[in-house]
Amino acid sequence: MQLLRYVCALWLIACCSHSPTVSGIEPDLFPKELTSFHPYSENPVFTAGDKSDWDARIRERGWILKTRDQWWLWYTGYDGQRSSLKSLGLATSKDGIHWQRSPQNPLTSDLWVEDMMVVENQGMFHMFAEGRGDQAQRLTSKDGIHWTSRGKLDVRMTDGKPISPGPFGTPTAYHENNTWYLFYERRDAGIWLATSEDMQVWTHLQDEPVILPGPELFDRDLIALNQIFKYQGRYYASLHGASTENDPRLWASGIAVSEDLIHWKKHPEPLRPISDNKSSGLFIQVGQKMRLYTMHDKVDLHIHDLKQ
């Protein structure tokens, strides 16, 4: 009997040592440094301006990039009225924590720029953002301050016909091997993928979404994609989602993994509790720490120590 108990104990230890940290999820697909974060003690690291400022409110996804010997934070500012023009702002930093607004803010005075992200390629910044009416657009800049509009994105179905009229937003671009990949959502009901070689015409790889909401509560009904990045040979997507039963609606950040940018597996738990209402997450590795920034009305920092 004692021998049997000993054998059973060894079996349990072996099973537990190889079991996923979350039921049904292989731990190597979602390493802890991409799923386990604690809030920075001095959050928030960036907030809206004063009530009388042009950026009395900030909203939706902004974008943080570490390049050219500094940190860049592009964000959307407005006066607080929902219908007001959404303008582009910039703050810079030496450490990604302490930020200084650009004296040239707002960077755009008559162009609606919201929910943006930036890719730097061959000395040029390419910004993908929503315009008025949730119409995805592209802007370019050589210095990150002065931006030129390149117009609304031309997205086509697999047969070459334009996608149906209506909102299409939260555009997220990724560039690899001379191909541009564009992820976008339509009314937060799913995420579609199109590609382009010249950023002039974008063509679906398939006409069905590559990622759908749910089934978990934190993204059960609504979903959008914020960022694509590569880590340990795999593609990862920063997501945020919500359930329509929450009132007020609470958004939560999540993560998904892929081998080919088309087929995705989502981690079933949010990166922060739903009650935290943290969305528009961005992952940035800094030395031996992985940072997760969340945005929308303020910018919060969450940290995982890679040495843990």
Domains along the sequence of the chain with CATH: 44-305 (2.115.10.20)
Average the pLDDT over each of 4-8, 47-51, 180-184, 241-245 and give the range with the smallest value.
4-8
Beta strand 234-242 with 222-231: parallel, antiparallel or unpaired? antiparallel
The percent of residues above 70 in pLDDT, for the chain, comes to 92
Q: What is the pTM of this model?
A: 0.91
Q: Please check the confidence at residue 302 and state whether its pLDDT lies above 60.
A: yes
With a CB cutoff of 8 Å and minimum separation 6, the contacts of 255 are 30, 34, 35, 236, 237, 238, 239, 266, 267, 271
SS3 content of the chain, % helix, strand, coil (to 5): 10, 45, 45
Assign 25 a pLDDT band (cuts: 50, 70, 90): low
- Going by C-alpha positions, the residue among 112, 220, 231, 236 that lies closest to residue 183 is 236
Rounded Cα–Cα distance for residues 24 and 21 (Å): 9
Cα 10–chain centre separation:
43
Q: pLDDT tens, 107-128? A: 998 999 999 999 999 999 999 9
Nearest to residue 219, comparing CAs of 195, 262, 194, 185? 185
